[in-house]
Amino acid sequence: MREAYYDQLDSIFGQLGTIAREVEVAVGRATQALLTGDGEIAEQVISADASIDRQREEIEDNAFSLLSLQQPVAGDLRTIVAALRMVGELERMGDLSVHVAKVARLRVPGVAVPPDMVPTIEQMSAVAIDMVGQVAALIESRDVDAAKALAEDDEEMDRLRRVSFRELLSNDWPHGVEPAVDLALLGRYYERIADHAVSIANRVVFVVTGETPSS
């Protein structure tokens, strides 16, 4: 009986890792749609979000079943509660990818990002994709040191966000209001993806050590 119980716990974390990998792909494809004005790819990202939502429901059902039937204590209870929090974070990261794709779709057949802002968006996307990939690995390995190190990447995202704001608010911004609004939203979406990644990493530390890293 207990062996089946621990198999179920491992299965929940395996599902979390799968969702993280799907989010990683979604962020990359949403950015591709954004920078190329490809409406078809944008639609694929939006449609694929249903898979993440469905898997979140499965994880929640499995976790609540363990809570009600097994009455876990101490470390096991901590693991299940953290998993419930983590799957919510992952779902929101998927939603943020959809937001990026919707900005891309809104501007088709044009491209939402002005040419001179493409490098900044590319860098923000690269940081976000890398952080989601690290989250997937952390869920699988539960490496505390790697989880704590993820905050350094979040600092790079914050720096890029400040760079984009300086561009948007400069007196010689040449692209008008609509692109400025798009870019302000996009910067926020990528920044929030990074924030959720750090939050998940902190929950991994909590699962392993019982301690929550200071922000």
pLDDT value at 139 more than 80: yes
Element housing 99 (H / E) = helix 74-107
Domains for the chain: give ranges and CATH numbers: 2-209 (1.20.58.220)
The per-residue pLDDT for 215 is 53
pLDDT value at 5 more than 70: no
The per-residue pLDDT for 66 is 84
The per-residue pLDDT for 183 is 96
Crossing angle (nearest 10°) for helices 74-107 and 177-209: 170
Q: Report DSSP state, residue 173.
A: -
Q: With cut-offs at 50, 70 and 90, classify the pLDDT of residue 3.
A: low
Quote the CA–CA distance of 19 and 66 in Å, as a whole number.
Answer: 20
Tokens linked to 199? 């939050």
Per the model's pLDDT, the better-predicted residue between 7 and 112 turns out to be 112
Percent over 70 (pLDDT), the chain: 95
Q: Report DSSP state, residue 111.
A: -
Quote the CA–CA distance of 133 and 135 in Å, as a whole number.
Answer: 5
The per-residue pLDDT for 10 is 83
Tokens linked to 129? 């994709």
Element housing 175 (H / E) = none
Whether the bond between 109 and the residue before it is cis, its omega within 30 degrees of 0, is yes
CA dist list (Å): 108 to 18, 33, 155: 31, 9, 32
The per-residue pLDDT for 214 is 66
Asked if 107 and 179 count as a contact pair (C-beta separation under 8 A), the reply is no
pTM comes to 0.93
pLDDT digits (tens, 9 = 90+) for 157-212: 999 999 999 999 888 999 999 999 999 999 999 999 999 999 999 999 998 888 88
Quote the CA–CA distance of 193 and 200 in Å, as a whole number.
Answer: 11
Cβ-count burial 88-112 (b if 16+ within 10 Å, e if not): bbbbbbbbbbbbbbbbbbebbeebb
Specify the length of the chain in residues: 215
